[in-house]
Amino acid sequence: MNAVTPVPLTTPDGVERKLRCTPGALKRIKDKFGSSSFIEVSQREGDWALFVIAYYMMYDEQGRPPEDLSMEQLLEAAPSEAAEETMAAIISAASQGRKSKNEVEALIKAAMAASIGSTSTPSQVSASDLNGKSSGTESPLPSLTDSSSSGSGEKNLPITEAE
């Protein structure tokens, strides 16, 4: 079994915290939102949910939340424009650091810039850009590959709008 690879995220109080995508974090997210799919939850609930997801991923190896930061403090101190960086850190943690937070954030920003003014279709990001190889377990991300299709098996992942 591979070790969990934490991804750093600096919270509004200036502290660099580690996001860890673990079964415990996914259970906390699913218990709160009814789904552990980050994108589904943020589309349904709004960007604020990303900060809750990130908070649940900050729990330590014993399953305890950060001692010096409450969820309420994070939600009240985080600027709305930090949602892109937060989503990038969440996705990077979900990939166990295979894609850096900066790489994912650049992809999200590009997808959002491409979608400005467009209401007909969601912006698309290549699944291979976000997730690398599949581990064979249920992912907190929407299904990124379609094994039933011929060709590369790659799908595009909507970032900003529900289908």
Is residue 84 included in any domain, yes or no? yes
Is residue 28 included in any domain, yes or no? yes
Residue in the structure block whose two tokens are 């790489």: 103
Specify whether the backbone of 126 is left (phi greater than 0), alpha (psi in -120 to 50) or beta: beta
Cα–chain-centroid distance for residue 10?
15
107 band by pLDDT with thresholds 50, 70 and 90? confident
Is residue 41 included in any domain, yes or no? yes
Is residue 1 included in any domain, yes or no? no
Task: Give the span between the Cα atoms of 89 and 91, in whole angstroms.
Answer: 6
At 118 the pLDDT is 52
Is residue 163 included in any domain, yes or no? no
Is residue 43 included in any domain, yes or no? yes
Range of the domain at 45: 7-158
At 75 the pLDDT is 96
Decide: helix, strand or coil at residue 162.
Answer: coil
Is residue 75 included in any domain, yes or no? yes
Closest alpha carbon to 24 in 67, 66, 58? 58
For 23-76, write each residue's pLDDT tens digit: 999 999 999 999 999 889 999 999 999 999 999 999 999 999 999 999 999 999
Q: How many domains does the chain divide into?
A: 1
- pTM for this prediction: 0.69
Residues across the chain: 163
